[in-house]
Amino acid sequence: MMKMNFILIICCLFSIISCENIENSELDFNSEIISISYGTSFGNCYGYCKQSIHIEQTEVDYLASSWEDDHNFPDIEITSSISDEEWKSIINDIDFMIFRNLDEVIGCPDCADGGAEWIEIETAKQKHKVTFEFNNPPEEVQSYITQLEDILNSFQEVLPEIN
């Protein structure tokens, strides 16, 4: 009987420890971030109204496009890179547990042509996208949104002047 109680106690402890490890590993989404996408758009606009970047580790894909298939504004696609330190700096600021609990739409993006911004983060386990009013990011993303804006804005020089 004593041996059976001992085995039962060991099994219970093992189960508790195993559950704690699973819960803790599920909370560590940041190490599993696969990609981050960020962009802006303006609904009542002529020219390159939509711009976005998609970052996977150190590779950055930039896309600028118009709302319609306008031959005056063909899509601009550029592949560039960021440093490993810059990638780590961005993902270290992200708390995916908080991010994934944000609503998919916050405020009134692009109401009265005020513009919209969005950010999408993909982990090994899930993907979540949040869209919000231009220049009005939710507090939960402010620590890393500036870095993403800077990367996106670094491509501004490739856009042609619109008269």
pLDDT tens profile 111-127: 988 999 999 999 998 99
Residue 19, domain member (yes or no): no
Q: Give me the number of domains the chain comprises.
A: 1
Residue 86, domain member (yes or no): yes
Q: Are 64 and 159 in contact (CB under 8 A)?
A: yes
Q: Residue 41 and residue 48: Cα distance in Å, rounded?
A: 9
Domain holding 134, by residue range, is: 32-157
Radius of gyration of the chain (CA): 22
Q: Residue 121 and residue 32: Cα distance in Å, rounded?
A: 10
The CATH number of whichever domain residue 114 belongs to comes to: 3.30.1560
Q: How far is CA 88 from CA 27, 34, 56, 95, in A?
A: 18, 12, 11, 13
The pLDDT profile of the chain, 163 residues, written as one tens digit per residue, is 555 555 545 544 455 444 444 444 444 545 589 999 999 999 888 889 999 999 999 999 999 999 877 678 899 999 999 999 999 999 999 999 999 999 999 999 999 889 999 999 999 989 999 999 999 999 999 989 999 999 999 998 878 776 4
Residue 133, domain member (yes or no): yes
What's the pLDDT at 9? 52
Residue 14, domain member (yes or no): no
Q: Is 78 helix (H, G, I), strand (E, B) or coil?
A: strand
Residue 120, domain member (yes or no): yes
Residue 119, domain member (yes or no): yes
**Cβ contacts of 65 within 8 Å, gap of 6 or more:** 48, 49, 50, 51, 73, 75, 76
Cα dihedral 79, 161, 86, 132 in deg (nearest 10): -100
pTM across the whole model: 0.79
